[in-house]
Amino acid sequence: MSHTTPKIIIAIDGYSSSGKSTMARELASKIGYRYVDSGAMYRAVTLFALRNHLIADDGSIDKETLIKELPSIKIDFKVDGDKQLTTLNGEVVEKEIRGMIVSSHVSPIAAIPEVRHRLVQLQQQFGRERGIVMDGRDIGSTVFPDAELKIFVDASPEKRAMRRLKELTDKGVETSYEAVLANVVERDHIDRTRAESPLRKVDDAVVIDNSDMTHDEQNKLLLDLYNQIINRLG
Ligand code: DC
């Protein structure tokens, strides 16, 4: 009798710079699942808004026009080796969506209910056939409340600020630890307190605090959790 491994949905939520994207990407690659970075989708909508002059110099957003344009915004991912490149209306925008300009405007865009509604629909389509690892802020709570494995990644603000500082310094961006820590704390506050789908740990999520864990320890723990679920289902 042939036996196929069941395909599940793995939702990984957590704070910014908690290392969740790396964990999610590496797990997906190890178990042959699709990886979707939901934050990249909010970033792509932000880039669309910037390019179409829907964000003024003072940061105010022309929400009405953006909401009207939402059905015409196509966001997808192109697989390139072990990389996932975000596309906006067919154009690879991976590099632009990681830049400082998009980063500084994405929070208010991600707080618009209509934007969230549209992206959640798209994210759910990506997971229709299961066999997916998705990371974000509301994956276990809103996008896939029925995910078989939910992870909430935590790490102290200080550890996350150190990681972010290294990322920025590696990219040649000059900044200080104090400035990065202040930004991490501010982003945590915005993520936790926004009205629409705030970041929160759902009751059935497993918490991984990786403040003092090595990369390998994290990967092993995640893989063990995945195997436990598969064994239970199989
Ligand atoms: O994870 P990131 O920094 O790329 O996320 C970019 C922004 O999108 C950040 O402001 C949080 C928001 N976001 C969200 O609101 N919901 C998600 N599922 C993913 C990201």
Contact criterion met (CB below 8 Å) for 155 and 19: yes
Residue 191, C-beta contacts closer than 8 angstroms, at least 6 positions apart = 15, 16, 107, 137, 198, 199
- Centre of ligand 1 to C-alpha 40, Å, is 7
Extract the residue ranges of the chain whose pLDDT is less than 50: none
- Centre of ligand 1 to C-alpha 111, Å, is 10
Look at residue 207 in the predicted model and tell me its pLDDT. Answer: 96
**Residue 138 CB–ligand 1 contact under 6 Å:** yes
Domain 9-37+99-228 is in which class? alpha beta
**Residue 38 CB–ligand 1 contact under 6 Å:** yes
Residue 203, C-beta contacts closer than 8 angstroms, at least 6 positions apart = none
Which atom of ligand 1 sits closest to the CA of residue 187?
Answer: 10
**SS3 call for 136:** strand
Distance set, CA 103 to CA 16, 46, 234 (Å): 11, 9, 42
How many CA atoms does the CB half-sphere of 14 hold within 13 Å?
30
Tell me the domain boundaries of the chain: 9-37+99-228
**Residue 116 CB–ligand 1 contact under 6 Å:** no
Look at residue 2 in the predicted model and tell me its pLDDT. Answer: 53
**Closest-CA residue to 25 (of 153, 191, 183, 185):** 153
